[in-house]
Amino acid sequence: MNKIQDASVLLIGRVLQMVAAVISLRLLTTFLLPNEVGRYYIILSVIAWFGGVFINPICMYVSRKLIEWNLEGLSRKYMLKFAVYLIYITAFSLILTLIFLKLFGIGTNVSYFWMSSILVGNLLFVTLTGTMLNNLNILGHRIYFVLFTNLTLWFGLAISILLVKFFSPQAEYWIFGSIISNVIILLFSAFILWKMLNVSTNNDDLPYKNDKSFSFLVVFKFSIPLAVTVCFYWLHTQSYRFILGFNSQENLVGLFAAGYSVAAGIMIAFENLFGQFYNPYFFNQIANKDKQQKAIAWNKYADCFIPSIVIMGVFISCSAHFLIKIFVGSKFQNVPYIVLGAALIETVRLIGSSYYMAALAQIDMKILVVPQFIGAAIVLLGIFTTLQINPFASIIISMLLGYIVTVVLVDLKLKNELPVKFPWVRFFKSFSLMIPFIVLTLLLTILIPIPNFKQSLLVVCFGGVYMILAQYIISKSWLFEGLRLKGDIA
């Protein structure tokens, strides 16, 4: 496929995924009460900690090295090695979780059976499915990637609905529907990926035995700083759920997390779309390259990514008043300012995630540790000291301030490692494109203080068209002219 075909396939796939995400959040907040939605997010936060600390660093390393391994015919062996690692870490995580659940709890009531089933299902099967699909994308098999990704989401949504309708409207059943879907898709995606991986032409295992790129020491050196960073990131983004949960405020967890998910879901969907399209090119540009070439690759990445994120952030912030009427059930629609706050937080977070890609290019994740620690400390301190004043405002302000400090510190540290440049000109250009939309939505918010569903849908659709036009204007220089290895993007 050429670049335009790549973008078209991924865009269609991402649109379908976003539709699935919107319907899923709407139905989640319709079928489940706020306290059950709160339980849903608390349980997922436990899974996110183990996945982020023990599994995601290895997944990122596999993504970073897959192309090199496949060129050498070693990818099949390392995929099997990765699967064995997942089994070990899932068993370890299960033991640790059950002990913690027995001694302290997790901020909500959940049985040992359900906690075990959900943890094993997510850490093992959901991770394997995600890895198989991501590898298909990195190797250029876009259609398979888009097809299986969407089938996973839509099957999961259908199964979750059936489970909560015919058994009980509880968080556990909703989560388990997604796990069942991932198991089904894993069988097909793993079979197809296995056939597409290159096999070494040598009949012996000498290249595999001599290759140290997936040895314990190499992966440990890469993963430990990232695992520590992810742990701090988890504290930054998830800790409020447990603080509220242990104070018997599961309903507040549900209300805040649902509102936050409106903005975060759109931003993450866009981040994934961009990554699905651009990351394979980025990884090719940094494979076996020196520092200067890696810096050039990242500067081009930032020139493309950060302005697009600014446009998305402004679109969601200004549309918050209307988006919440579309995305969530009626019990969750009274907190549009959470969507606004979440959009600001996610914009800063995603700008910070671009620096993560620079650290990944260097295979030196130590750059991220101290900034993430300071950011997490700011969040925890802010929430603990101001939670009683206004829980939602406390969480939003603390998270936003923590991310701003984190991004500034990472930028300062990274410039000592790579000659990277923040795309200030394109940053302000992208913001200026959205000024007419900012003015218009402010007027509409005043004129329509309590919009209904149709009014909200009309405003969001118009805003979406405007946002896409702005994205086209800011992105056409790199999207249609090709990814150049040298020079700046105009």
- Domain membership of residue 418 (yes or no) is no
* Digit-coded pLDDT (tens) for 252-291: 888 888 889 899 988 988 888 787 777 777 777 776 666 7
Per the CB < 8 A criterion, the answer to whether 196 and 132 are in contact is: no
- Domain membership of residue 421 (yes or no) is no
DSSP 3-state assignment of 369? helix
What's residue 479's pLDDT?
A: 67
- Domain membership of residue 281 (yes or no) is no
pLDDT at 111 over 50: yes
pLDDT at 208 over 60: no
Residues 142-162: what's their mean pLDDT?
A: 92
CA distances, 52 to each of 29, 150, 259, 261, 425 (Å): 26, 23, 23, 19, 34
- Domain membership of residue 448 (yes or no) is no
Q: At what angle do helices 250-286 and 34-50 cross, to 10 degrees?
A: 40
Range of the domain at 153: 32-200+210-214
Name which of 9-13, 79-83, 157-161, 239-243 the model is least confident about.
Answer: 9-13
- Domain membership of residue 333 (yes or no) is no
Domain count of the chain? 1
> What pTM was estimated for this model as a whole?
0.78
From the list 421, 434, 435, 431, the residue with the least C-alpha distance to 489 is 421
* Digit-coded pLDDT (tens) for 330-379: 788 778 889 999 999 999 999 988 887 776 666 566 777 888 899 999 99
Query: In terms of pLDDT, which residue wins out, 323 or 479?
Result: 323
Residue 299 tokens read as 């500067």
pLDDT at 94 over 90: yes
CB contact set of 416 (below 8 Å; sequence gap of 6+): none
- Domain membership of residue 91 (yes or no) is yes
CA distances, 290 to each of 69, 228, 285, 295, 420 (Å): 19, 26, 10, 9, 14
Residue % of the chain over a pLDDT of 70: 89
Q: Pick left, alpha or beta for residue 418 (phi over 0 → left; psi -120 to 50 → alpha; otherwise beta).
A: beta
- Domain membership of residue 36 (yes or no) is yes
- Domain membership of residue 273 (yes or no) is no
